[in-house]
Structure 1
């Protein structure tokens, strides 16, 4: 099998191919009539017993945020033709994390597991909300515990433990879950690289960027100019795009009545 580096033309063609799909998905998530949950579908049943923390609502919020971040990356790279050294990776990281969370919520075959994951998603939201707002006097431990109690009220009839709900989740958990379930997407390494860029980690920034070296007056010290390229950012962008397609596929399957 050939391991030749793709030509610039091939890279541009692949970007344009995924850009069309990203634009179409951006239109879809903006349409309130799209992704309807059909009565009698698995997701309809999930929502009925998880109200007011409907599984489909949590998954849809993750999908919208994931598509929004991905579309922003596409717009920056292709439409504005601005290729920052790091920013596009941060956008792709946000997309990967949200899409992986959506897949983690929707993919389990058992209803209880889908509901548990949706409740854990809400628990993480409430915990981070309290951490942010408590110092401002806009939240307190009592209100936080009250919100968790409402999640417990949904979990209890399904024999989902409060401990599981309160644990929330980590982005690394949902990305690794997606890596195991979707080997053709393999989002783990792209997510790790994008996270490295988002945090300015040298292993990612120096490892993935194009470098120009300039001598300085200090012995053994070089100035380095870092730039990116369409071929380099295509690697995480393709994984993110494929994950988006997988999320939409499982969402539509769960939202339709089995034949």
Structure 2
């Protein structure tokens, strides 16, 4: 607690730990992309959660099962696999635009034609 206090960190927060969802939710404020939902799904895959595999993989029954339990082959769906790769690329582009904007660099027009600004949560209220 003393070290945290000397470093200007809330001792209660230092003791309770840091939730991994905090930076994910914080970063989502700067994007119109479904950052948190996409993170939940990819995290489910990374941590072997059954719901992720059963819900997002192609399932093909390969055997009726002599014991009455069917056997399935689970394979990747190209649409889902590509979706997450493309979303990651879009998110990286938005992150780099945010960095450049905050560095004061001139901003080229967005490819989608939408205005380039901070998210509503970060804009001054007027």
TM-score under structure 1 normalisation? 0.35
Matched residue pairs, number? 104
Shift of the alpha carbon at 1:242? 1.7
More strand by share: 2
Query: Relative to 1, partners in 2 of residues 1:228 and 1:257: Cα closer, same or farther, differing over 3 Å?
Result: closer
Higher RCO, Cα 8 Å, sep 6+: 1
Whether 1:195 aligns to 2:9 is no
CA contact (8 A) 1:196 1:203 kept: yes
CA contact (8 A) 1:212 1:224 kept: yes
Which residue does the alignment assign to 2:55? 207
Residue ranges of structure 1 left out of the alignment (5+ in a row): 1-144, 156-160
Residue ranges of structure 2 left out of the alignment (5+ in a row): 107-126
Match of 1:255 among 90, 96, 103: 103
Deviations 1:163-188 (A, max 9, x none): 37626632212222233432x21111
Match of 2:79 among 226, 231, 238: 231
TM-score under structure 2 normalisation? 0.66
Query: Relative to 1, partners in 2 of residues 1:179 and 1:207: Cα closer, same or farther, differing over 3 Å?
Result: same
* Correspondence 1:1-259 to 2 at 5 A: 148=3, 152=7, 155=8, 161-163=9-11, 166=14, 169-182=18-31, 184-214=32-62, 215-219=64-68, 221-256=69-104
Query: Relative to 1, partners in 2 of residues 1:237 and 1:164: Cα closer, same or farther, differing over 3 Å?
Result: farther
